[in-house]
Structure 1
Amino acid sequence: MLTGLSWLALEVKYLEPARRFYEETLSLSVRDERENECGLAAGKTDLVLRRPDDLPRGGLHTHYAFSIPADEYDEWWDRLGEAYDLEEARFGPAKSLYLYDPDGNCVELGQQDVEGPGIDGIFEVVLEVESLERAQSFYSDLGFETVDAGDDRKRIRMDGPMALELWEPHLGIADARGGVHVDLGFETEDPQAALDAVRDRVSRIDRDAAEEVVVRDPDGHFLTFAT
C-alpha cells in the first residue's frame, strides 16, 4: 500500500546550526530552502528541518537511522569520533553508530546494503505512542508487518517502506526516545485506499484529495499519503 518514504521532518529551534550539522558534518546536500525550512537529500528521501512556526511542526527528540554502505562504517566512526561521544550497537553482522544533532534528535548511521557513497536513505524511524496495541493495529492496516517485539514489552518493530519502531515512553540505545508529533511523507499509488484503511481511527484528516491525503494518527503524528 505504501511504497516509499518521501520525507521525515524534524523540528529545529535555529535553522542555521541544524543545517550546518547535516550539510557539513553528515555531508547531506541541500535540495530546497524556504524562510523557515530546509530540505536535504538523504538518498531518495528528504530530511526536512523546520522551525516551529506552523503545523505540522516536525518531530521532537526523534530517533531515526540513516543507511550507509557497510564498508564506510569505520571511516564514519573515525570522522565523527573526533568531535562526538559516539555509541555503538551491533545487530547481527551489522553495526550502527549513534550521535545527537543540535536539537536533541538521536541520529543513527547503520550499515546497510546501499550503494552510497555516504548517507543513502533513511531505514528506520521511531515513534512514541501511548498504546502499542493501538498503534500496531493502525500501522498494520497501512501494510506494515510486525517483525519483532522488545523483551521489555515497550516497543515493537514493523517492516514497510522503512523499519518503523513504535515505542511506549522509555529510553533506548544511546538514551534515545521515540519522536513526538513526527511528520512523515509516504509514496503510494492510491492515497484514498490508504485513507480508507484507517479512516475510522485517525485523530484528524487535514487534507483529503485524490493525489494527496494528510492525516494525524491516534498519537498525533502527521502522515501524508501522496502519489
Structure 2
Amino acid sequence: MLTGLSWLSLEVKYLEPARVFYDEQLGLSVRERGDDEIVATAGETDLVLRRPSGLPRGGLHTHYAFAIPDDEYDDWWDRLSETHDLEEAQFGPMRSLYLYDPDGNCVELGQQAVAGPGIDGIFEVVLEVEAIDRARDFYEELGFETVDEGDDRTRIRLHGPMALELWEPHLGLADARGGVHVDLGFETDQPRAALAAVRDRVQTVDRETDDEIVVRDPDGHVLTFLAP
C-alpha cells in the first residue's frame, strides 16, 4: 500500500549547526532552505530539519539509519571518528556505526546494498510508542509486516517502504531512543485507501484530499500519504 519513504522530519533548535552536520560532515545536498526549515536529500528520501515554529513539529531524539555502500564503511569510520565518539554494531555480515547530531538524534550509517557514492537513502526509522501491540496493529493495516520481536517485548521490527522499529520507552544500541512526534511522508498510489485502512485508529485526520492525506497515528506521530 505504501511504496516509498518521501521524507523524515527532525526538530532542530538552530538551523546552522544542523546544516553543518548533515551537509558538511555527512555530505547531504541541501535542496531548500527557508527561515525555519532546511530540506536535504538522502537518496530518494528528503531529510527535513525544522525549527519548532509551528505544526507539525519534527521528531525529537529520533533514531534512524542512513544506507551507505559496503565498501565505504571503513572510510566513513575513519573520517567521522576524528571528531565524533562512535559506536559500532554488527548485524550478520553488515556493520553499522552510530553517532549523535547536534540535537540529540541518534544517526546510524549502515552497510547496505546501495550504489552510493555516499549516503544513499534512509533504511530504518525508530518510533517510540506507548503500547507495542496497538502500534503494530496500526502499521500492519498499512501493509507493514512484522519480522522480529525483541525478547523482552519492548521493541518490534517491521518491513515496508523501509524498516520501521516500534519501541516502548527504553534505551537501545548507542543509548538511542525512539522518536516522539515524528513526521513521516509516504508515497502511495492510493492515499484514500491508506486512510480507509486506519481511519478508525488514528487520533486525527488533519488533511484530506485526493492526492494528500495527513493523519496522526495512535501515538501522535504525523503521517502523510502522498500520491506520486
TM-score range normalised by the length of the shorter chain: over 0.9
Distance 1:32 1:145 in 2: 34
Distance 1:5 1:166 in 2: 16
Distance 1:91 1:26 in 2: 22
For 1:216, the equivalent position in structure 2 comes to 216
For 1:158, the equivalent position in structure 2 comes to 158
Does 2:204 correspond to 1:204? yes
TM-score by length of 1: 1.00
The alignment's C-alpha RMSD in Å is 0.3
The CA deviation string for residues 59-96 of structure 1, in whole angstroms up to 9 with x for no partner, is 00000000000000000000000011100000000000
Distance 1:2 1:32 in 2: 25
Secondary structure at the counterpart of residue 78 of structure 1? helix
For 1:76, the equivalent position in structure 2 comes to 76
Q: Which amino acid is 2:127 matched to? A: L
Q: Where do 5+ consecutive residues of structure 1 fail to align?
A: none
For 2:64, the equivalent position in structure 1 comes to 64
For 1:7, the equivalent position in structure 2 comes to 7
Secondary structure at the counterpart of residue 96 of structure 1? strand
Q: Which amino acid is 2:223 matched to? A: L
For 1:132, the equivalent position in structure 2 comes to 132
How many equivalent pairs are there? 227
Secondary structure at the counterpart of residue 220 of structure 1? coil
Does 2:83 correspond to 1:87? no
Secondary structure at the counterpart of residue 52 of structure 2? coil
Q: Which amino acid is 2:203 matched to? A: S
More moved, 123-132 vs 30-39:
30-39
Q: Where do 5+ consecutive residues of structure 2 fail to align?
A: none
Distance 2:9 2:40 in 1: 10
Distance 1:23 1:144 in 2: 31
Q: How far does residue 34 in structure 1 lie from its aligned partner after superposition?
A: 1.4
How much identity, in percent, do the aligned residues show? 76
Secondary structure at the counterpart of residue 27 of structure 2? coil
Within a 5 Å distance, the mapping from 1:176-187 to structure 2 comes to 176-187=176-187
Distance 1:36 1:116 in 2: 29
Within a 5 Å distance, the mapping from 1:46-65 to structure 2 comes to 46-65=46-65
For 2:123, the equivalent position in structure 1 comes to 123
Distance 1:86 1:134 in 2: 34
Q: Which consecutive segments of 4 or more residues in structure 1 shift more than 4 A?
A: none
Distance 2:151 2:19 in 1: 37
Distance 2:223 2:124 in 1: 15
